[in-house]
């Protein structure tokens, strides 16, 4: 059976974790295909909140095998901590499989992430400082260490010694930092972490194909989102991997014909963390309402998110870039706070109208949103379980999104709980 991809359509934090968890009900494998512990997925089950960074959301179901694909960058210490946290809370993590080809985040990646940001000054990207960009840079430079290297101390040490010579020269001569000690890093990674990570390592490609060949359902879970994509996002204010659906193929080892369904997750308004253009951004009281009602603070970093109205130019572009087949709208309940709700239908810059994203960054920086204003519904949606329990104005909002995006809306989430959603699926 072909795979389903779950992808964020904005700048992340759309609620992919909840939707993946919801869709994982019938799924055998849930595979994370890119990113690292820069991600934060929050899932509420029976009133208990689980904040996941690396382990795929499917871990919360006992019938699902969670897989960390080759496209992910893994800090093994963070992975083990997260597994321990889940075990303490009664979640079995013994089924987790980590691709041996996933690259490792090393101590020097954190240092370089912090230093690069510092040197960029007011041009900084606002990264999560988790070493993500430097780890992917080493992968592309072919000097990265992979999870499988943890199984071979001699090779691990040889690679580490070579790479650390260059990293230490950079850290000490350019950034004026103390060099790192290869022995200490090897003791930590090989001595402490490798014995505990080793049982998780496996051939994720084989696992995914066995599941597909035997007709099992496979879900590919993206982290971050379309406009943080290294190629298609608002570069340079992006992450260093490809969250778009194409990245799901590369990051798990399947081809496009193995995917039949692409679910785009759309927050009912827009948020962004870190720097970069944001045409519909709000400030002042409206922004505060969205932040407070939507709890718009980073799951891991605690940073306050920037907030704004829904931008349909972005959603149209996301549908194109990911070949999205359906949308799931999240946090619809948060918009109950407003009498009138604005939606960005197009942009305007230098007297020209843009229905699609302008490709040039300088244009994107100066566009003005063209809004349509819709009536709000001002009523509590959090107990709605079917479309007819939603107020007409909320249904009209969803219909507008669907007709502008050109694909159906199949779910609307109306609260953080696992059961708090309305399904429009046939």
Active-site entry in 37, 41, 109, 232: 41
DSSP element (H, E) containing 354: strand 352-354
Angle between helices 392-405 and 312-322 (to 10 degrees): 50
3-state helix, strand, coil in the chain (%, to 5): 40, 20, 35
Position 130 contacts ligand IMP (CB under 6 A): yes
Residue (of 223, 228, 232, 227) closest to 251 by Cα position = 223
Is 138 exposed, middle or buried, given 0-12, 13-18 or 19+ CB atoms closer than 10 A?
buried
Decide if 73 contacts 132 (C-beta within 8 A): yes
Position 20 contacts ligand IMP (CB under 6 A): no
Pairing of strands 29-32, 218-221: parallel
Identify whether 63 is a catalytic site residue. no
- Angstrom distance (rounded) from CA 100 to CA 98: 6
Q: Nearer to ligand IMP by C-beta: 148 or 241?
A: 241
From 7-15, 203-211, 282-290, 378-386, span contacting ligand IMP (CB under 6 A):
7-15
Q: Nearer to ligand IMP by C-beta: 307 or 336?
A: 307
Q: Closest distance between ligand IMP and the C-beta of residue 126, in Å? A: 5
Q: Closest distance between ligand IMP and the C-beta of residue 240, in Å? A: 6
Q: What residues numbered 183-202 form the site for ligand IMP, per CB under 6 A?
A: none
Please select the residue that binds ligand IMP; options are 6, 31, 39, 164, rule is CB under 6 A: 39
Residue nearest to ligand IMP (CB): 274
Position 133 contacts ligand IMP (CB under 6 A): yes
Which residues are CB-neighbours of 46 under 8 A, at least 6 positions away?
Answer: 418
Identify whether 41 is a catalytic site residue. yes
Q: Tokens for 128?
A: 């999560």
Chain mean position to CA 62: 23
Q: Nearer to ligand IMP by C-beta: 224 or 330?
A: 224
Position 13 contacts ligand IMP (CB under 6 A): yes
Please select the residue that binds ligand IMP; options are 224, 226, 270, 410, rule is CB under 6 A: 224
Q: Closest distance between ligand IMP and the C-beta of residue 131, in Å? A: 8
From 36-44, 144-152, 191-199, 366-374, span contacting ligand IMP (CB under 6 A):
36-44
From 126-134, 212-220, 281-289, 377-385, span contacting ligand IMP (CB under 6 A):
126-134
Which residues are CB-neighbours of 376 under 8 A, at least 6 positions away?
Answer: 335, 336, 337, 338, 339, 340, 341, 393
């Amino acid at each position: 059976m072909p795979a389903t991809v779950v992808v964020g359509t904005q700048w992340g934090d759309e609620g992919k974790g909840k939707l993946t968890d919801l869709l994982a009900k019938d799924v055998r494998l849930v595979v994370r295909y890119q990113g690292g512990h820069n991600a934060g997925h929050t899932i509420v089950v029976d009133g208990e909140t689980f904040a996941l960074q690396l382990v795929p959301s499917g871990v919360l179901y006992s019938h699902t095998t969670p897989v960390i694909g080759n496209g992910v960058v893994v800090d093994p210490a963070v992975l083990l901590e997260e597994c321990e946290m889940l075990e303490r809370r009664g979640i079995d993590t013994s089924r987790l499989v980590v691709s041996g080809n996933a690259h490792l985040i090393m101590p020097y990646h954190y240092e370089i992430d912090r230093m690069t940001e510092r040197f960029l000054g007011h041009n900084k990207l606002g990264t999560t400082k988790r070493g993500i960009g430097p780890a992917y840079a080493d992968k592309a430079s072919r000097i990265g260490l992979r999870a499988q290297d943890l199984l071979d101390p001699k090779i691990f040490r040889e690679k580490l010694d070579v790479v650390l010579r260059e990293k230490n020269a950079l850290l000490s001569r350019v950034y004026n930092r103390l060099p790192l000690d290869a022995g200490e890093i090897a003791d930590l990674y090989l001595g402490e972490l490798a014995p505990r990570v080793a049982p998780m390592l496996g051939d994720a490609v084989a696992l995914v194909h066995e599941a597909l060949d035997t007709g099992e359902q496979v879900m590919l879970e993206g982290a971050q989102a379309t406009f943080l994509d290294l190629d298609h996002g608002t570069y340079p204010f992006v992450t260093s991997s490809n969250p778009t659906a194409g990245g799901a193929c590369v990051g798990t080892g399947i081809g496009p014909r193995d995917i039949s369904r692409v679910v785009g997750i759309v927050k009912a308004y827009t948020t962004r963390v870190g720097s970069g253009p944001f045409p519909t951004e709000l400030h002042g009281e409206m922004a505060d309402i969205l932040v407070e009602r939507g709890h718009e603070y980073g799951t891991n970093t605690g940073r306050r998110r920037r907030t704004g109205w829904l931008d349909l130019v972005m959603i149209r572009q996301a549908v194109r870039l990911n070949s999205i087949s359906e949308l799931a709208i999240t946090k619809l309940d948060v918009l109950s706070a407003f009498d009138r709700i604005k939606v960005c239908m197009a942009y305007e810059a230098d007297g020209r109208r843009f229905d699609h994203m302008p490709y040039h960054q300088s244009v994107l920086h100066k566009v003005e949103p063209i809004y349509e204003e819709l009536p709000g519904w001002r009523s509590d949606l959090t107990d709605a379980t079917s479309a007819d329990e939603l107020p007409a104005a909320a249904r009209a909002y969803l219909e507008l999104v669907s007709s502008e995006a050109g694909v159906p809306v199949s779910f609307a989430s109306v609260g953080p709980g696992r059961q708090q959603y309305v399904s429009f699926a046939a």
